[in-house]
Amino acid sequence: MKILFIGDIFASPGRRIVAEHLQQIISDEHIDLAIANAENSAGGFGVTPNVAQELFSFGLDVLTTGNHVWDKREVYDYLNREPRLLRPGNYAASLPGTGLYMGKARNGVQYAVMNLQGRVHLPPIECPFRKADELLASIPADVKVKFLDFHAEVTSEKIALGWYLDGRITGMVGTHTHIPTGDARVLPKGTAYQTDCGMTGPYDSVIGVEKDTVIQRFLTQLPMRFEAAKNMVELHAVIITLDETTGRATAIQPYAISEE
């Protein structure tokens, strides 16, 4: 069985490249479950109900997010109505949405998708390590396939959580830095791991944003209004192959499409 995970879809260029290629990837690669991080899918900042529905219509089964999920107020209600759109589960329980979705893949296998967020150089929400324990405890024993999008800034927090969960989930892929890492591997106890999936969007940019503005911000340290960039669009994903009887991963492979 195979899971496809697509990294932070950034603005309309990111949505377009997904629209153009997703069905082909699913078919060519025999994907049973297609997940994507949508925290930047609406203009680069957040996600709206319309944008989420557009992404589901392309064939994505579950959407994860991260710190930017709160950027657009109109999504707050929708988070309560649409269980397939996750927000990091370790934000306060009083907030809309949850960090866990369980469903059935195209091949009929039950799966759980989780979404958590790091706390190093990010808001001090609940402990992602303990929240991972808690989410896992709430998943029925017969659900073997468990995937986590861990949205975090620093490599140490991501790898530490990877080791913490090794053997307990099928795969963990990081998001948020918008640059793919080259460290895909199946950890010794069977959890597929990659520190960051990388952004799906315009790479003629600084992590999606029009690059001259960001350079000016570094030079002046002034607040700036950021605009989404447009060119050098790439799709970055990982494909995890797993044994659905045990939930253990057998392979993890980065998967990228570059338009130029």
Nearer to Fe ion, 54 or 149 (CB): 149
What is the rounded CA–CA span in Å between residue 222 and residue 79? 33
Nearer to Fe ion, 113 or 249 (CB): 113
- Token readout for 197 is 């999936």
Annotated binding residue at 121? no
Catalytic site residue 68?
yes
By CB under 8 A, is residue 140 in contact with its own copies?
no
Annotated binding residue at 74? no
Question: Edge-to-edge strands of the sheet including 192-194?
Answer: 100-104, 110-117, 145-151, 171-175, 192-194, 185-186
Which CA distances in Å does 131 have to 35, 128, 138, 244?
A: 21, 5, 11, 24
Annotated binding residue at 67? yes
Cα dihedral 74, 76, 81, 86 in deg (nearest 10): 120
Among 163, 168, 230, 243, binds its own copies (CB under 8 A): 163
By CB under 8 A, is residue 245 in contact with its own copies?
no
Among 21, 30, 68, 236, the active-site one is 68
Q: Which residues bind its own copies (CB under 8 A)?
A: 70-71, 91-92, 94-95, 119-121, 123-127, 129-130, 153-157, 159-161, 163-164, 177-183, 195-196, 198, 206-207, 209, 211, 214-215, 218-223, 254
